[in-house]
Structure 1
Amino acid sequence: MSSLTVRGLTKSFAAAIPVLTGVDLHVPEGSFTALLGPSGCGKTTLLRLIAGFEEPDSGTVALGERVVTGAGRSVPARRRGIGFVPQEGGLFPHLTVAGNISFGLPRRQRRDGARVAELLRLVGLDPALADRSPHQLSGGQQQRVALARALAPEPSLVLLDEPFSSLDAALREETRVAVSAALSASGATAVLVTHDQAEALSMADQVAVLRGGRLVQLTDPRTLYRRPGDLDVATFVGEAVVLEAELRGGLALCALGELPYEPAADGVLEGAARILLRPEQLRLSAPRPAAPTARVSSVDYYGHDSRVWLDLPDGLRVSARLDGADLPVAGTDVSITVRGTALAFPARASRDAAAAL
């Protein structure tokens, strides 16, 4: 396995519309990185440039010390030693599971049934499936076979292009766990393209957030969620409560009272600001004197937890995340307390998250 280093990568297509503009990315050897962003942000284009399916306008791609794109050279995709798992698995329908897995191996190794069985176990499948055809497998099994095929030649890097997008919720989670475990067990260096925040946060060692063809934040999942680089990233990687505030004397004065806060990377220490809270930080109770109060607008029940929509006196609607028991009823008043600290950003208007991300 090798590290991946991307420097200054740019790419434009028809009418010279820029898709990527100077992307820098480093993926350490043996680590798992998720490229996170909505459709059209450039993440799949970046993956295809790394794989060698497209050529960049400028910039370099290196696997370890080996430059495969840029610096006056371009190594063909088939010689880069990269495993690729597409969205639908891309299995050959006329080959068995064993035939698919061993397809890219030298002829001598194709007859090695022990290697196929080893790879099937690695991705959490019974080796008895080796003689089945792809149409006899579930969608999740097909994706695991596709991963086994990508891992078979021991590539320097494995690329996964939204491999779980076509699976239903339960199968998606099961397959995601199995794929993550297999990549970890193999020691593979991997890059996953996804627009699913939960997928990125739960699987990756680091998450690269792309917006408008630029990499706007690269960090570990916990830091990304707790200390996003800006409010647009904050609202994209999870539900957010964003409030206007006045920072004074170490406290943020806002619609939820006086809250302790920390400045964001480009935050402020005093004066006008916008503060970020996560819905799970809000706690609800029966109305109490002098406590911030809101009216329950509606409750979304999910079983394991619930989202409670609250209308504040100033007309702002926010949400709280609670467990599934003892939920308030729509139309009732509740008091709100906040657990932990807020994150303070400059007061300038944040771009509309849906448009920017």
Structure 2
Amino acid sequence: MSTLTVTGLCKSYAAGVPVLDGVDLHVPSGSFTALLGPSGCGKTTLLRLIAGFDDPDDGTVVVGDRTVAGGPGRSVAARSRGIGFVPQEGGLFPHLTVAGNISFGLPRRQRREGSRVRELLGLVGLDAALADRSPHQLSGGQQQRVALARALAPAPSLVLLDEPFSSLDATLREETRLAVSAALDAIGATAVLVTHDQAEALSMADQVAVLRHGRLVQLTDPRTLYRNPQDLDVATFVGEAVVLDADVRAGTAHCALGAVPVDGSHPDGRARVLLRPEQLRLSAPGTEPGSVVARIGGVDFFGHDARVRLVLPGAGTVSARLVGADLPSTGEEVAVTVLGSAQAFPPSAADDVPHPALSA
């Protein structure tokens, strides 16, 4: 497998509006990178430029030591790039069997032997008995695995996946995601996944590239992205967030949740602080020193855990994440304490009056 290096990639469509604006991205050989961002941020355009389905206006795409796109007249055709592509809906040929789909891009001898098809079905976790079935006889998850097997059949140097799990239900999505990850790991594939699902990106990828308005705003491993986002926009996009106005003094943020230590160095003064819902702990009022009292505004039960909405005096509603047992009731008063530290960011431009929570 090969590295992927994208440098200064730009692309505009109608009216000259930039879809990608100077994107730099490096994907190490054998690693898995997720492209994450809201709709319209340029994720799919970036994937299409890497695949060769479109040409960039500027910048280069290098796979291994081979420049496959680098300005007008220098693009290598998509079929000659040695890249496997798994589209959103699988894109299987309905008139071909599973075996016919997987072997479509193989030399004639390998298609006749059938050994490569059996090998790939086993790799993606499917029974060899499915080889003679038509795509419509498979479940959605099975179809996506066949699409991956087809992409892997010619032994590509890079595999691109364009939201391949988005049409699957939750259980099938997780099962298929695990099977795809295992198959890619087994061959040490270099892979790039486009997704708008934060959990998908954080659980599958070695590194996550966050795109916003056509620019790459952060590229890092999943834990760093979640715990140390570049800014509040990234923080609120990647997972649930508790964001509060605060006054930072000597490394402590004074906010509606009390005095909370701040990660790193932040100048004294007004700030916006970030906590994650799982950092909030609830107890009976008066039992935890330094806690603040909140009222339960509602509970959303998910089985394995629950989201508890907390109404804080003068600061609106924030969310806590708790295990799905011994949950409080709506209207009940609880004490709220914070586990760990917060991240502090500059105040927003709209914060031009003191917040009631900062009066302490």
Whether TM-score is above 0.5 comes out as yes
Following the alignment from structure 2 to structure 1, what is the Cα–Cα distance between the partners of residues 255 and 120? 56
Which residue of the partner structure matches residue 186 of structure 1? 187
Following the alignment from structure 1 to structure 2, what is the Cα–Cα distance between the partners of residues 107 and 270? 70
1:9 and 2:6 correspond? no
- Aligned length in residues: 348
Q: How big is the shift at 1:216? A: 0.3
Structure 1 residues 349 and 185, CA, compared in 2 at 3 Å: closer, same or farther? Answer: farther
Amino acid at match of 1:220: D
Quick check: 1:231–1:350 contact (8 Å CA) kept in 2? no
Q: How big is the shift at 1:247? A: 1.2
Structure 2: tracts of 5 or more residues without a match: 352-360
Instruction: Give me the TM-score of the superposition, normalised by structure 1.
Output: 0.95
Amino acid at match of 1:242: V
Q: How big is the shift at 1:145? A: 0.2
CA displacement, residues 180-202 of structure 1 (integer Å, 9 cap, x when unaligned): 11001011100000000000000
Note the aligned Cα RMSD (angstroms): 1.3
Following the alignment from structure 1 to structure 2, what is the Cα–Cα distance between the partners of residues 312 and 277? 15
Which residue of the partner structure matches residue 136 of structure 1? 137
Following the alignment from structure 2 to structure 1, what is the Cα–Cα distance between the partners of residues 31 and 51? 17
1:301 and 2:305 correspond? no
CA displacement, residues 288-346 of structure 1 (integer Å, 9 cap, x when unaligned): 17630100000000000000001001141100000001100000100001111111111
Instruction: Answer with 315-324 or 69-78: which moved more.
Output: 69-78
Q: How big is the shift at 1:350? A: 8.5
1:271 and 2:269 correspond? yes
Q: How big is the shift at 1:250? A: 2.3
Q: How big is the shift at 1:248? A: 1.0
Which residue of the partner structure matches residue 355 of structure 1? none
Following the alignment from structure 2 to structure 1, what is the Cα–Cα distance between the partners of residues 267 and 219? 25
Q: How big is the shift at 1:148? A: 0.2
SS of match in other structure, 1:73: coil
Which residue of the partner structure matches residue 91 of structure 1? 92
- Which aligned segments of 4 or more residues in structure 1 are displaced greater than 2 angstroms? 348-351
Q: 1:118-133 residue pairs with structure 2 within 5 A?
A: 118-133=119-134
Amino acid at match of 1:230: D
1:40 and 2:40 correspond? yes
Amino acid at match of 2:95: H
Following the alignment from structure 1 to structure 2, what is the Cα–Cα distance between the partners of residues 55 and 40? 18
Structure 1 residues 44 and 336, CA, compared in 2 at 3 Å: closer, same or farther? Answer: same
SS of match in other structure, 2:92: coil
CA displacement, residues 247-292 of structure 1 (integer Å, 9 cap, x when unaligned): 11221111111111113xxx72322111100000000011117630
Following the alignment from structure 1 to structure 2, what is the Cα–Cα distance between the partners of residues 133 and 2? 33
Q: 1:70-85 residue pairs with structure 2 within 5 A?
A: 70=70, 73-85=74-86
Instruction: Answer with 341-350 or 299-308: which moved more.
Output: 341-350
Q: How big is the shift at 1:234? A: 0.2
Which residue of the partner structure matches residue 168 of structure 2? 167
Quick check: 2:68–2:74 contact (8 Å CA) kept in 1? yes
Following the alignment from structure 2 to structure 1, what is the Cα–Cα distance between the partners of residues 347 and 244? 10
CA displacement, residues 49-96 of structure 1 (integer Å, 9 cap, x when unaligned): 000000110000000110000155110000000000000100011111
SS of match in other structure, 1:84: strand
Quick check: 2:251–2:266 contact (8 Å CA) kept in 1? no
Following the alignment from structure 2 to structure 1, what is the Cα–Cα distance between the partners of residues 279 and 117? 48
Following the alignment from structure 1 to structure 2, what is the Cα–Cα distance between the partners of residues 349 and 210? 23
Instruction: Answer with 332-341 or 241-250: which moved more.
Output: 241-250
1:254 and 2:255 correspond? yes
